[in-house]
């Protein structure tokens, strides 16, 4: 069926929560996707950092096919083999000692906030429940994670939101110190803000935040839904900053395209969850965990993360070189394969022009164009993209 017919049906039957491009993507392989009219694109958005190993990675496809033919779902009333295997891998390769599985980033953050509150009530004191979060942050679309999110445009129209969050400017240590009260139980942040526009914090900010948590006995809660799973060139993004959190959340890239979320925590904090305190029907189901296991197994291969860091550096240098002669570009920034350009004008025409040339990118706010290619992108593909961007910005 023609794309325009699909688009008519899409507009008739679906709720209008998304502003969509007039493109119907029907097939993918590696970093490429094809639309219903047969046009080919290089996907520099990777389904918003989800298709971390590219589209339909053979290892992920095989794991899903085998698992689908073996066991799709059993409840968490029983032990589940792929769930055990994935949790073991995550524990062996991260700071964490325990894992809880759910189905999305918002759910992982919701679980993180519930865990922090339980832990604080039981082990820190009765009246400690407040979490300091960052302006410009994004933590999800549930009521609780909207309350944690530091962007008015996300929260607008939904109040009253659950209380218990205060927001301070990202990167501002003085404001953070001032926001500490006897009610504070934790500090929640993305080590690089994603939806907020690929904002890399200044200097040793993340380390200093970790030190404040140590000094005050607070929980360091990192939302790694976007920065995690290799995006910054280390399995979890906080590793690049040399800090150790108490709690981290994962989703997007973890399943390589399958819905999965995970809450990771150190033993001391994880013990606040007891049987009956939290649950998810689909969380940790065999299918999603089999996909997640395949993704982690690829990412922990020797040299994989070094290659991501190397390609990230190459891409960033290329963007910087290209930006020098472009009056529209205000800033080039990012880390690993989470990069962006900020323009001095709306980015929509640039995104559309790139799309016409066969490149998918992602807006963040009005003026930022984000680049989140699959981590398996090759240098010559980055070159192709840079050439197209150079032409578009001319």
Ligand X SMILES: *Cc1c(COP(=O)(O)O)cnc(C)c1O
Q: How far apart are CA 119 and CA 265, in angstroms?
A: 11
For ligand X, the binding residue among 119, 138, 165, 315 (CB under 6 A) is 138
The residue among 272 and 362 lying less far from ligand X, judged by its C-beta, is 362
CB neighbours (10 Å) of residue 185?
25
Q: Which is nearer to ligand X, 52 or 226 (CB)?
A: 226
Looking at 85-93, 100-108, 113-121, 160-168, which segment touches ligand X (CB under 6 A)?
A: 100-108
Stretch that binds ligand X, among 65-73, 138-146, 155-163, 232-240 (CB under 6 A): 138-146
Size of the site for ligand X (CB under 6 A): 15
189 interacts with ligand X by CB under 6 A: no
- Binding flag, residue 112, ligand X (CB under 6 A): no
Q: Considering the complex, what minimum distance in angstroms separates the CB of residue 170 from ligand X?
A: 12
- The answer to whether 293 contacts ligand X (rule: CB under 6 A) is no
The CA distance from 214 to 315, in Å, is: 36
Residue 52 binding ligand X, by CB under 6 A: no
CB of 138 to ligand X, least distance (A): 5
Q: Which CB atom, from 145 or from 347, has the smaller least distance to ligand X? A: 145
User: Shortest Cβ distance from residue 200 to ligand X (Å)?
Assistant: 14
- Is 28 in contact with 51 (CB distance < 8 Å)? yes
Rounded distance between C-alpha atoms, residue 128 and residue 10, angstroms? 46
Q: Which region holds residue 89: left if phi is over 0, alpha if psi is between -120 and 50, else beta?
A: alpha
Q: What CA–CA distance (Å, rounded) separates 50 from 52? A: 5
Count other Cβ atoms within 10 Å, centred on residue 281. Answer: 10
Residue at shortest CB range from ligand X: 105
Helix (H, G, I), strand (E, B) or coil at 330: strand
Residue from 140, 255, 292, 312 touching ligand X (CB under 6 A): that is 140
Query: Which of 105, 186, 253, 292 forms a contact with ligand X (CB under 6 A)?
Result: 105
Instruction: Please say whether the dihedral angle defined by the alpha carbons of residues 339, 345, 348 and 350, taken in this order, is positive or negative.
Output: negative
Sign of the C-alpha dihedral computed for residues 272, 275, 281 and 286 taken in this order? positive
Residue number with CB closer to ligand X (229 or 388): 229
| Closest distance of CB 195 from ligand X, Å | 5
Nearest distance, CB of residue 141 and ligand X, angstroms:
6
- 351 vs 348: CA distance, rounded Å: 5
**Is 147 one of the binding residues for ligand X (CB under 6 A)?**
no
The SS3 of residue 99 is strand
DSSP for residue 241: G
- From residue 231 to residue 270, what is the string marking binding to ligand X with x (rule CB under 6 A)? --------------------xx------------------
Closest approach, Cβ 99 to ligand X, in A, equals 17
From 223, 239, 342, 381, residue interacting with ligand X (rule: CB under 6 A): 223
C-beta of 329 vs 368, nearer to ligand X: 368
For position 139 contacting ligand X by CB under 6 A, the verdict is: yes
The encoded tokens of residue 209 equal 């935040």
The 3-state DSSP class for residue 219 equals strand
Residue 179 CA to residue 36 CA, distance in Å, equals: 51
Q: Which is nearer to ligand X, 103 or 323 (CB)?
A: 103
Closest separation between CB of residue 221 and ligand X, Å?
Answer: 12
The two tokens of residue 339 are 């990069």
Among 106, 269, 335, 351, binds ligand X (CB under 6 A): 106
- What ranges in the chain are assigned the alpha helix state H? 3-13, 46-49, 58-68, 81-93, 105-119, 143-148, 152-155, 173-179, 205-216, 267-270, 286-299, 304-323, 348-356, 379-393
Q: CA–CA distance from 89 to each of 251, 265, 290 (Å)?
A: 15, 14, 12
Minimum CB separation of residue 145 from ligand X in Å reads 7
| Cα angle for residues 252, 140, 335 (degrees, 5° grid) | 50
Q: Is 343 in the site for ligand X (CB under 6 A)?
A: no
- Applying CB under 6 A, the residues found at the interface with ligand X are 104-106, 109, 138-140, 190, 194-195, 223, 225-226, 251-252
């Amino acid at each position: 069926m023609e794309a325009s017919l699909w688009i008519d049906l899409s507009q008739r039957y679906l709720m209008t929560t998304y502003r969509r491009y007039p493109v119907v993507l029907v097939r993918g392989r590696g970093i490429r996707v094809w639309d219903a009219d047969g046009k080919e694109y290089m996907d520099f958005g990777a389904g918003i950092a989800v298709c971390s190993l590219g589209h339909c990675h053979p290892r992920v496809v095989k794991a899903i096919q085998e698992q689908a033919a073996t066991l799709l779902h059993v409840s968490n009333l029983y032990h589940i083999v792929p769930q055990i295997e994935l949790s073991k891998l995550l524990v062996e390769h991260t700071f964490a000692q325990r894992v809880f599985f759910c189905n999305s980033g918002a759910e992982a953050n919701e679980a993180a906030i519930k865990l922090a509150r339980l832990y604080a009530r039981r082990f820190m004191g009765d009246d400690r429940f407040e979490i300091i979060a960052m302006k410009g942050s994004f933590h999800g679309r549930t009521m609780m994670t909207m309350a944690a999110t530091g962007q008015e445009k996300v929260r607008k129209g939904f109040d009253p939101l659950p209380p218990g969050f205060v927001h301070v400017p990202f990167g501002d240590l003085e404001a953070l110190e001032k926001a500490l009260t006897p009610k504070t139980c934790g500090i929640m942040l993305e080590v690089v803000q994603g939806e907020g526009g690929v904002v890399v914090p200044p200097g040793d900010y993340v380390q200093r935040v970790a030190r404040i948590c140590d000094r005050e006995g607070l929980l360091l809660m990192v939302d790694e839904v976007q920065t995690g799973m290799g995006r910054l060139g280390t399995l979890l993004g906080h590793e690049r900053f040399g800090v150790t959190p108490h709690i981290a959340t994962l989703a997007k890239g973890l399943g390589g395209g399958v819905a999965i979320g995970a809450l990771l925590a150190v033993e001391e904090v994880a013990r606040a969850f007891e049987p009956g305190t939290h649950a998810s029907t689909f969380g940790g189901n065999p299918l999603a965990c089999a996909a997640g296991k395949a993704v982690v197994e690829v990412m922990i291969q020797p040299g994989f993360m070094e290659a991501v860091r190397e390609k990230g550096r190459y891409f960033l240098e290329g963007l910087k070189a290209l930006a020098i002669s472009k009056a529209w570009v205000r800033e080039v920034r990012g880390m690993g394969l989470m990069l962006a350009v900020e323009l001095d004008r709306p980015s929509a025409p640039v995104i559309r022009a790139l799309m016409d040339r066969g490149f998918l990118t992602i807006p963040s706010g009005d003026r930022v164009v984000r680049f989140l290619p699959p981590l398996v992108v090759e240098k010559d593909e980055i070159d192709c993209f840079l050439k197209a961007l150079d032409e578009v910005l001319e």
